[in-house]
Structure formats: structure tokens, C-alpha cells
Structure 1
Amino acid sequence: MPHISVKMYPGRTDEVKKKIAEKVRDCLVEEMQMEPKYFSVSVEDVEKVDWQTAVVDQINEKDLYVKADF
């Protein structure tokens, strides 16, 4: 607890994904004042053609605090 899930279009290397995961985790470590060992982070590639059904349609509007504008 907690788990952070990042979904994005394909094209980034595993090295970049790891760096993104660590930075997102570190931000929440600071904001939640918890040790890093309690966080897990996944980074999932989602094809552009699948984005609406695999990502957008799965999000509960009440849980969406920052909405993309595209």
C-alpha cells in the first residue's frame, strides 16, 4: 500500500520507465510521509487505438483529479 499505476503510449525504454516510476514514487513518499518500501509502481504500455477502452473508459470520474486535455 499504496500501488501507483502509470499507463502511457508505447515507445519508452525500460530505463525511462524505471526512472518515471521512481520519480512518481518519490513524489508520493514525500507527500504521504511514508517510506519508499511501502510503494509499488507499475508502468503499462497501451496502444493509442486502445486508449479509450483500456484507460479512459475504466476511470471513475469521481477518482479523476487531473484530467488530460486532448
Structure 2
Amino acid sequence: MPHIIVKLWKGKSETQKKKLAEALTNAAISVIGYDESSFSVAIEDVEPNDWKEKVYQSDIIEQKNKLYKSPGYKME
């Protein structure tokens, strides 16, 4: 049962989040299969000032062995 977690800067509308969840679900279905009912999607809003600490360091740098797509930016 795939569960997709998206962390993004705070400020996107509920409509945008719903469309993103639907698009991610459809893309995942086309690649790995499973029925639509098998998927869940969570979206976590992160304040831009907290991104480095709460996402970049903990989820990107410290868990780089889990990344299948790295960001094209670096934070010092």
C-alpha cells in the first residue's frame, strides 16, 4: 500500500494540493500499478525559513541513500 509524503513551502491552495495528490497517484499507478484505492497522499506545509532544518538537512542530506531524485540546489 503506497503512501506518498510531499513536503512543500507553505502557501499552496487546497485546490493545488488536491490536484497534486491526484497527479502523483495517477503517475504512480502508471508506473508501479496497484489500484487507486491502495494509495494515500499526505502533504506537509513547511515555512520557508524552516526548510533547511526540517527538510533539507533531515530528509535530503541525512537520508540521501533513499533519494531517487536529488534537488538541483544546495543549502549552506
Query: TM-score, normalized by length of structure 1?
Result: 0.91
The runs of 5 or more residues in structure 2 that have no matched partner are none
1:27 is aligned to 27
Map residues 26-65 of structure 1 onto 2, 5 A cutoff.
Answer: 26-59=26-59, 60-65=63-68
Could you list the structure 1 runs, at least 4 aligned residues long, displaced by more than 3 angstroms after superposition.
Answer: none
Query: TM-score, normalized by length of structure 2?
Result: 0.85
The runs of 5 or more residues in structure 1 that have no matched partner are none
Helix, strand or coil: the match of 2:11?
coil
2:69 is aligned to 66
Matching residue's letter, 1:67:
S
Identity of aligned residues (%): 34
How far does residue 20 in structure 1 lie from its aligned partner after superposition?
0.3
Two-structure CA RMSD over aligned residues (Å): 0.9
